[in-house]
Each structure stands twice: as structure tokens, then as C-alpha cells.
Amino acid sequence: MRKHRHAPELGNRRYQRDLASGLQETLGLDDAVRFCAERGWQGTLTFLLSMRSEQQSVIVGEG
């Protein structure tokens, strides 16, 4: 019998997203990206890079 209603990797993505958000708030986006890259945290790094992309598109859109 399966205990989870969602795939385990979905839970991991939620964790990585939350971790990325916390790192960004604590370290700032650039330092959080560097932190994850140095440790090989690819999933969390992917979320941070998408945050960076979103921020840049907002800045470009304001111009």
C-alpha cells in the first residue's frame, strides 16, 4: 500500500523550493546561487536560477 498521495520527487521539489527561498532571504540571491553551486545542490540551484531569471525579466520589463 502506498502511503504518499504524490510522487516522492514532488516532495523533494517542494523542499528544494523552500530551501532556495530561505537561502535567498538569508544570503541574498547571488550568494545563495554561489552557495548551492559550490555544494552541488542542483535542484535548489535550479530554483534559485529561475528566481534570478524572474527578477531580471521584471527589471527589463520596467525599463
Instruction: Compute mean pLDDT per 10 residues along the chain, 63 residues long, and list them.
Output: 61 92 96 97 95 80 62
How confident is the model at residue 11, as a pLDDT? 77
Q: How far apart are CA 46 and CA 51, in angstroms?
A: 9
Q: How many other CB atoms sit within 10 Å of the CB of residue 19?
A: 17
- pTM, full prediction: 0.74
Residue range of the domain that includes 54: 8-62
Is residue 3 in some structural domain?
no
Is residue 22 in some structural domain?
yes
**In whole angstroms, how large is the CA radius of gyration of the chain?**
14
Is residue 34 in some structural domain?
yes
Is residue 23 in some structural domain?
yes
Sign of CA dihedral 30, 32, 36, 38: positive
Is residue 1 in some structural domain?
no
Is residue 42 in some structural domain?
yes
Residue 32 in grid coordinates: 545563495
Q: How many domains are there within the chain?
A: 1
